[in-house]
Chain A
Amino acid sequence: DGGITQSPKYLFRKEGQNVTLSCEQNLNHDAMYWYRQDPGQGLRLIYYSQIVNDFQKGDIAEGYSVSREKKESFPLTVTSAQKNPTAFYLCASNRDPNNEQFFGPGTRLTVL
């Protein structure tokens, strides 16, 4: 099956810890994205990558970091600098910006 996988589905973190969320796609898409979703709000873009070894900040990049060493993978690290990290995180990809984005199932991060 082609698609996007995210792991883990649920993640708990203590304050002050960095955590890394996984996103993998086998759709052969060049572009990948990370979004944050909070209750009652639309999705907000954290980072995106147009191609391997390249990525750009989105609207709310502070406290987050990413890497894009492989076409299939775009992990997101939530650092201790992120003041309010509890949220639902969604990864997406598309072949190019002119096409619709496909979304993974999401990771729910809770800071204890």
Chain B
Amino acid sequence: AQSVTQLDSHVSVSEGTPVLLRCNYSSSYSPSLFWYVQHPNKGLQLLLKYTSAATLVKGINGFEAEFKKSETSFHLTKPSAHMSDAAEYFCVVRPSPPNDYKLSFGAGTTVTVRA
């Protein structure tokens, strides 16, 4: 069985400062990992994904995440927050072996950006 824990339910940062969103997972296999962003009353948009290639993954809008197997973590970072980054962020695990259709979603981290 797999599960995802987002360690912060809410993160508040000033515009121009770094953002760190923490995610830990548990999985019986080598998982695929995703970060999605959701703006209010919208669907989810993929930011980036890890699928067993490079452990440092670059995504859209300046976000990146590092897969650390020893720590079972997949933290999301951005060096400089922008007002448009205010949204909810979900860490998602897809277990391996492949062909499993079910994903596990974290509870989400709400990011607010102060001017």
Contacting residues, chain B, for A104 (C-beta < 8 A): 43
A94: nearest chain-B partner, CB-CB: B101
Number of interface residues of B (CB under 8 A): 25
Q: A42-B90, A42-B106 are in contact. Are A31 and B46 (CB under 8 A)?
A: no
Residue interface mask B31-59, A partner, CB < 8 A = 1: 01010100001111110010000000000
Rounded to whole angstroms, the CA-CA distance of A45 and B104 in the bound complex is 9
Among A14-22, A65-73, A78-86, A95-103, the stretch in contact with B: A95-103
Q: Once A and B bind, how many residue pairs between them come within 8 Å at the CB atom? A: 57
Rounded to whole angstroms, the CA-CA distance of A9 and B7 in the bound complex is 31
Contacting residues, chain A, for B108 (C-beta < 8 A): 40-42
Chain A 32-75 residues near chain B, CB threshold 8 A:
33, 40-45, 48, 50, 56, 58-59
Q: Are A42 and B105 in contact (CB under 8 A)?
A: yes
Rounded to whole angstroms, the CA-CA distance of A33 and B41 in the bound complex is 18
Contacting residues, chain B, for A4 (C-beta < 8 A): 43
**Would you give 14 A-B contacts (Cβ < 8 Å), ordered by A?**
A40-B107, A41-B107, A41-B108, A42-B90, A43-B44, A43-B90, A56-B101, A58-B102, A59-B102, A97-B94, A97-B100, A97-B101, A103-B45, A104-B43
Residues of A at under 8 Å CB distance from B? 4, 6, 31, 33, 40-45, 48, 50, 56, 58-59, 88, 90, 92, 96-98, 100-106, 108
